[in-house]
Structure 1
Amino acid sequence: MASRAKATILDIAREAGVSKSTVSLVLQGSGLIRPETAVKVRKAIEDVGYVYNRGAANLRKAHSNVIGMVINDLTNPFFAEMAVGMERVFQSAGIVPFIANTAENPVRQEEVLKSLMEQGVAGLIVSPARGTTSGAFRRLETVGLPVVFAMRRLPESRIPVIAPDNHRGAWLATAHLIGKGHRRLAFFGGSSDLVVYHERLGGFREACEALGIAKRDTIVVEGETSRKGGIACLDTALAAAEPPTAALCFNDAVAFGVMLALRKRGLEPGADFAVVGFDDVIEAQHYMPALTSVAVDSAGLGERAAHVMLKMIQSRTTRAEDHIGAVNLVIRESCGPDRHKGMGDAA
């Protein structure tokens, strides 16, 4: 009897031929498990003699001091800066953050989320990978685990989001380029399966329409949100019959790639082609030329996400208000001189 009383969830999982997380969900009475699987798990519980102490389990859950930070791309300086902001808040609160990089892979993301749930995390802050569907997080909502999305939201999801004002940031950047005399503009990078892409592209298009740039004088090139993506976007745009003279880039990484590609062609960023980024990572101000970019308080957004998570855990809720952070345009040298002045001087 003594040995039977020491049975663990792992013993049940082995006996039933299922995962530890499946056993946990059955013990919690979750409706996500198929009836036939639940019956098999309950039989295994009886066979191994497991005794489930719900009070102890709830106490452990209530006092868990581990929070998962699941980031889509830690090679992007923006997300690294945001993660530092989260970690700063958690450290001061005595929370242990567990950080994972999904590298924009939804399959890897699912593996990480499953593992973190099995470890009994108190909550999750997630920047969803490309290709993530809302259904991937319904199970987390069902079991009552607090989740906050950082930077990216999913269509039809009720999970709270901490993000910058993407639409306004793109509008400000596009208006700046038009104000400098550019009449053929491009939007580089990102993909249509991301809500943030549509928010930034929407700001770009709205500014063009409001300020007299015809749709035929704009070009939109989807691409990877990296330097490699920026290089490919520029090559595509300059091959057009009437190439653009300026571009708003999905993020700073794309903008850095565009500037590299310009130099390979013997063109000078700013002087020959205007470039604006989005995020204003630390590297932007030290680049040559320094990059004009939409400033997003990356560390501040990370701190806000962490504070919201702590409040949700303390209140034992999965609901919170979205937070849309302010943005502003930081003007540097990558947009070059005013084209109106240049044309006036030539005349």
Structure 2
Amino acid sequence: MGRPRVTVIDIAQAAGVSKSTVSLVLQGSPLVKGTTRAKVVEAMNELGYVYNRGAANLRQTGSKSGIVGVVVNDLTNGFFAELAVGVDIVVQSAGFVQFLSNTGESIDRQREVVASMREHGISGLLVSPARGTDPSDFAPLVEAGIPVVVVVRSLPGGKLSSVVADNPSGVAGAVRHLVSLGHRRIAFLGGFQDTAVFHERLSGYRSAVTAAGFGFDEALVVPSAPSRAGGADAVARALAVEERPTAAVCFNDAVAFGACDGLRSHRLEPGRDFAVVGFDDVIEARTAVPALTTVSVDPQAMGRRAGQLLLKQIAAGGVSSEAVMTSVRLVVRESCGAPRLAAQA
């Protein structure tokens, strides 16, 4: 059973005002004095009231909500822009509008935007959660019958639907490819250690280097922010290891681009002096110099799949827990040095 729904009458009683006054405050009417408005807002906060603006509009129009919330943790990463495009293609074709927001890895910001989206009457939420997110943060939506689909980053124990990539096999395949090119010291660069996706990708790395007979060397695992700047920092630290690596599998393409920048600052050319492999296959991977070898997730396809799952639950009129794992594949380009090494064979 969910918690009892707080009503306008409850707020009016708590604030010592009339029901109509509360309604005027919710509508943003200038007819209510500042002191009275403050009392009403305080009562709303104490009671945990969420004003569903969308529902209010629906009561007036008799229509059905056509808004889908999409919350991502880092919109500066091209992966999430492409993911959002994939979501939009699907929801737009179904007559929904995408309400997109970026949290910048802030849990407080995430809570604010999700509350705002709920206030506007979203029909469902698709979210790539900020670091440290507690699955219970989405319990009020689930209790209200609003479907939630977690994408990219899973939330273990959350009992929420999810769409994630096959992270372990993707990284393992990248390591095996580098081994086939003759590399023996292979680093794993980037990623926040407090996210499930980091450990999923690290597990693929660990299993592959162990299977290759190299053993797992903690010194070759260099966490960092999953960004271009983080990649430059991570590769600099990797190069400082006593027996430094000759190749790296990066947490994502942003880290890989940064690693290439960092290598050049050390007068090393990626693809010639040091092999670099990314993860995601964003659009820029094909046009980078050198073109980036990467594990292709196809972010637009992942967005489409997540959108389809969310729409299915919206249409069913209920909340369910369904896990989807999308396949990945290694796309070999120039940054791993394959053409050069193959020519020497």
The residue that corresponds to 1:305 in the other structure is 306
Residue identity in the other structure for 1:17: E
Aligned CA distance change for structure 1 residues 5 and 242 (closer, same or farther; 3 Å): closer
Correspondences of 1:82-121 after superposition (within 5 Å):
82-121=83-122
Correspondences of 1:137-148 after superposition (within 5 Å):
137-148=138-149
Q: Does 1:72 align with 2:97?
A: no
* Distance (Å, rounded) in 2 between the aligned partners of 1:17 and 1:243: 59
Residue identity in the other structure for 2:125: L
Q: Is the 8 A contact 2:159 2:321 kept in 1?
A: no
Aligned CA distance change for structure 1 residues 327 and 15 (closer, same or farther; 3 Å): same
Q: What CA deviation, in whole Å up to 9, does each residue of 1:15-35 have, x standing for no partner?
A: 36234795646x99xxxxxxx
Q: Is the 8 A contact 1:181 1:338 kept in 2?
A: no
State the shift of 1:261 in Å: 0.8
The residue that corresponds to 2:171 in the other structure is 170
* Distance (Å, rounded) in 2 between the aligned partners of 1:206 and 1:152: 21
Aligned CA distance change for structure 1 residues 236 and 114 (closer, same or farther; 3 Å): same
Q: TM-score, normalised by structure 1?
A: 0.83
DSSP 3-state at the match of 1:255: helix
Aligned CA distance change for structure 1 residues 207 and 119 (closer, same or farther; 3 Å): same
The residue that corresponds to 1:207 in the other structure is 208
The residue that corresponds to 1:283 in the other structure is 284
State the shift of 1:133 in Å: 1.8
**Which stretch of the first structure deviates more once superposed, 207-216 or 321-330?**
207-216
State the shift of 1:236 in Å: 0.6
State the shift of 1:330 in Å: 0.1
* Distance (Å, rounded) in 1 between the aligned partners of 2:81 and 2:90: 15
DSSP 3-state at the match of 1:173: helix
Q: What CA deviation, in whole Å up to 9, does each residue of 1:294-334 have, x standing for no partner?
A: 00121111111111111111111110421111110000111
The residue that corresponds to 1:327 in the other structure is 328
DSSP 3-state at the match of 1:74: coil
DSSP 3-state at the match of 2:290: coil
The residue that corresponds to 1:195 in the other structure is 196
State the shift of 1:197 in Å: 0.5
Q: Is the 8 A contact 1:296 1:327 kept in 2?
A: yes
State the shift of 1:211 in Å: 1.5
**Which stretch of the first structure deviates more once superposed, 100-109 or 57-66?**
57-66
* Distance (Å, rounded) in 2 between the aligned partners of 1:281 and 1:343: 30
Q: Is the 8 A contact 1:184 1:218 kept in 2?
A: no
Residue identity in the other structure for 1:85: G
Q: Give the counterpart of 2:40 among 8, 15, 25.
A: 15
**Which stretch of the first structure deviates more once superposed, 307-316 or 249-258?**
307-316
* Distance (Å, rounded) in 2 between the aligned partners of 1:22 and 1:120: 20
* Distance (Å, rounded) in 1 between the aligned partners of 2:47 and 2:68: 21
Residue identity in the other structure for 2:109: R
DSSP 3-state at the match of 2:325: strand
Correspondences of 1:232-311 after superposition (within 5 Å):
232-311=233-312
Q: TM-score, normalised by structure 2?
A: 0.84
The residue that corresponds to 1:133 in the other structure is 134
Aligned CA distance change for structure 1 residues 59 and 161 (closer, same or farther; 3 Å): farther
How many residues in Structure 1 have an aligned counterpart in Structure 2? 316
* Distance (Å, rounded) in 1 between the aligned partners of 2:342 and 2:333: 18
Aligned CA distance change for structure 1 residues 262 and 10 (closer, same or farther; 3 Å): farther
Q: Is the 8 A contact 1:62 1:122 kept in 2?
A: no
Q: Is the 8 A contact 1:61 1:120 kept in 2?
A: no
Residue identity in the other structure for 1:243: R
DSSP 3-state at the match of 1:215: coil
**Which stretch of the first structure deviates more once superposed, 58-67 or 124-133?**
58-67
State the shift of 1:87 in Å: 0.8
State the shift of 1:218 in Å: 6.0
The residue that corresponds to 1:34 in the other structure is none
State the shift of 1:135 in Å: 2.5
Q: Is the 8 A contact 2:78 2:282 kept in 1?
A: yes
* Distance (Å, rounded) in 2 between the aligned partners of 1:248 and 1:279: 12
State the shift of 1:81 in Å: 0.2
* Distance (Å, rounded) in 1 between the aligned partners of 2:213 and 2:24: 65
Aligned CA distance change for structure 1 residues 59 and 278 (closer, same or farther; 3 Å): farther
Aligned CA distance change for structure 1 residues 338 and 297 (closer, same or farther; 3 Å): closer
Q: Is the 8 A contact 2:142 2:319 kept in 1?
A: yes
* Distance (Å, rounded) in 2 between the aligned partners of 1:190 and 1:320: 27
* Distance (Å, rounded) in 1 between the aligned partners of 2:240 and 2:223: 15
**Which stretch of the first structure deviates more once superposed, 128-137 or 168-177?**
128-137
Q: Is the 8 A contact 1:21 1:117 kept in 2?
A: no
What percent identity do the matched residue pairs reach? Answer: 45
DSSP 3-state at the match of 1:18: helix
The residue that corresponds to 2:186 in the other structure is 185
Aligned CA distance change for structure 1 residues 55 and 244 (closer, same or farther; 3 Å): closer
Structure 2 spans left out of the alignment, 5+ residues: 1-17, 27-36
Residue identity in the other structure for 2:193: S
Residue identity in the other structure for 1:335: C
Structure 1 spans left out of the alignment, 5+ residues: 29-53
* Distance (Å, rounded) in 1 between the aligned partners of 2:56 and 2:153: 36
What is the aligned-residue RMSD (CA, Å)? Answer: 2.9
